[in-house]
């Protein structure tokens, strides 16, 4: 059995369940609502790029939850039920199982996010009188990349965890550390290095630290994408004092997302390959 067969099964099963449609509805509703915030909050500029920026800030918190819920039981659930032994009895290697599970669940999340954003584009375009197509397409692609990164993390956790409970605990811990609490790392480092909390301009290393989590890398890449289409909006180094260092290039944050996708998968596979499934 090849990884493609496993991936198709994972995708087909998800499409016929309520999971993918729940993702579509949730993403469409939340993106549509948050993109309209600049129209009702006086402190914001009431333009469409500000609206899309507000939507991506919420997506940086929402998408990891969607991806983790979609994938954290991909392998751990079958290990606890014993059905993984049936699957391995069809003679795929354990690495094939991990890869197939990742590709199938990643496809589900990417399709759900794309359809959800497409639906949200309609009320957003109506409210603002138009939509910057290139910037919007870039944001959708980057949001899918964030979702795929957290699917890689979730499948890696699922491969390493022997039970549903352990997979859930590790998934919650990963979300708290990487999506909610990561900003405390650069904030604390700035406080130690500079003797004060960041205000106004910041050093380049502060921006780099912000972008070393998947959600932080996503936010940096969204800034770069919007800046590329509308130079009046600040890019990745917009808050940096003086000339921006070379390590704040967008390719660095692409690499961060790629590593967060691949390394947990590899670690999960190594653990899974050495596990006794009884």
The band of 181, judged by pLDDT with boundaries at 50, 70 and 90, is: very high
Asked whether residue 17 carries a pLDDT value surpassing 90, the answer given is no
* Contact status, residue 27 vs residue 120, Cβ threshold 8 Å: yes
Say how far apart CA 119 and CA 117 lie, in whole Å.
Answer: 5
The band of 127, judged by pLDDT with boundaries at 50, 70 and 90, is: confident
The band of 45, judged by pLDDT with boundaries at 50, 70 and 90, is: low
**The two three-digit tokens of residue 250, written as one number:** 């967008």
User: Average per-residue pLDDT in the chain?
Assistant: 88
CA distances in angstroms from 96 to 103, 110, 272, listed in the order given: 11, 21, 12
Single pTM value for the model? 0.93
Query: CA end-to-end span of the chain, whole Å?
Result: 22
CA distances in angstroms from 158 to 48, 86, 101, 102, listed in the order given: 39, 17, 10, 10
Q: What pLDDT score does 25 carry? A: 85
Q: What single string gives the DSSP state of each residue in 38-87?
A: HHH-TTS--SHHHHHHHHHHHHHHHHHHHHHHHHTTTTHHHHHHTHHHHH
Across the range 211-231, mean pLDDT stands at 94
**CA 7, 259, 250, 47: dihedral to nearest 10 degrees?**
50
The number of beta carbons lying within 10 Å of the beta carbon of residue 189 is 15
Asked whether residue 68 carries a pLDDT value surpassing 60, the answer given is yes
* Contact status, residue 230 vs residue 274, Cβ threshold 8 Å: no
Percent of the chain, pLDDT > 90? 49
Across the range 253-273, mean pLDDT stands at 95
Say how far apart CA 140 and CA 218 lie, in whole Å.
Answer: 11
The band of 1, judged by pLDDT with boundaries at 50, 70 and 90, is: low
The 10s digit of each residue's pLDDT in 80-102 is: 777 776 776 666 788 888 999 99
Say how far apart CA 35 and CA 44 lie, in whole Å.
Answer: 12
DSSP 247: G
Asked whether residue 38 carries a pLDDT value surpassing 90, the answer given is no
Asked whether residue 278 carries a pLDDT value surpassing 60, the answer given is no
The band of 30, judged by pLDDT with boundaries at 50, 70 and 90, is: confident
Q: What pLDDT score does 89 carry? A: 67
Of residues 80 and 262, which shows the higher confidence score? 262
What lies within 8 Å, CB to CB, of 60 at 6+ separation is: 146, 179, 215, 218, 219
* Contact status, residue 218 vs residue 143, Cβ threshold 8 Å: yes
The number of beta carbons lying within 10 Å of the beta carbon of residue 258 is 15
Across the range 203-222, mean pLDDT stands at 95
Asked whether residue 76 carries a pLDDT value surpassing 60, the answer given is yes
Asked whether residue 46 carries a pLDDT value surpassing 70, the answer given is no
Asked whether residue 15 carries a pLDDT value surpassing 80, the answer given is no
The band of 6, judged by pLDDT with boundaries at 50, 70 and 90, is: confident
Across the range 3-9, mean pLDDT stands at 86
Please name the residue ranges forming H helices in the chain.
3-15, 19-35, 37-40, 48-71, 76-81, 83-88, 94-128, 133-160, 164-175, 184-194, 204-210, 214-229, 250-273
- What's the angle, vertex CA 42, arms to CA 211 and CA 50, rounded to 5? 35
């Amino acid at each position: 059995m090849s990884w493609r067969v496993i991936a198709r099964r994972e995708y087909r099963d998800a499409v016929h369940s309520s999971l993918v449609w729940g993702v579509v509805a949730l993403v469409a509703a939340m993106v549509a609502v948050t993109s309209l915030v600049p129209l009702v909050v006086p402190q914001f500029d009431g333009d469409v790029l500000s609206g899309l920026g507000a939507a991506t800030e919420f997506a940086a918190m929402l998408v990891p939850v969607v991806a983790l819920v979609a994938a954290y039981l991909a392998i751990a659930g079958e290990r606890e039920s014993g059905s993984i032994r049936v699957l391995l009895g069809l003679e795929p290697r354990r690495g094939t199982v991990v890869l197939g599970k990742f590709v199938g669940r990643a496809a589900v999340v990417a399709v759900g996010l794309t359809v959800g954003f497409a639906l949200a584009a309609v009320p957003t375009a109506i409210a603002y009188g138009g939509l910057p197509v290139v910037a919007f397409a870039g944001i959708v692609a980057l949001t899918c990349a964030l979702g795929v990164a957290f699917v890689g993390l979730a499948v890696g956790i699922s491969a390493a965890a022997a039970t549903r409970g352990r997979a859930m605990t590790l998934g919650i811990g990963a979300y708290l550390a990487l999506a909610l609490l990561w900003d405390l790392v650069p904030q604390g480092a700035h406080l130690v290095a500079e003797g004060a909390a960041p205000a106004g301009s910041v050093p380049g290393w502060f921006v780099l630290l912000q972008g070393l989590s998947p959600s932080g890398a996503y936010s940096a890449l969204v800034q770069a994408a919007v800046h590329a289409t509308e130079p009046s909006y600040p890019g990745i180094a917009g808050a940096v004092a003086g000339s921006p260092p070379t390590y704040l290039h967008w390719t660095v944050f692409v690499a961060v997302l790629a590593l967060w996708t691949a390394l947990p998968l590899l670690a999960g596979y190594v653990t899974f390959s050495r596990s006794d499934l009884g």
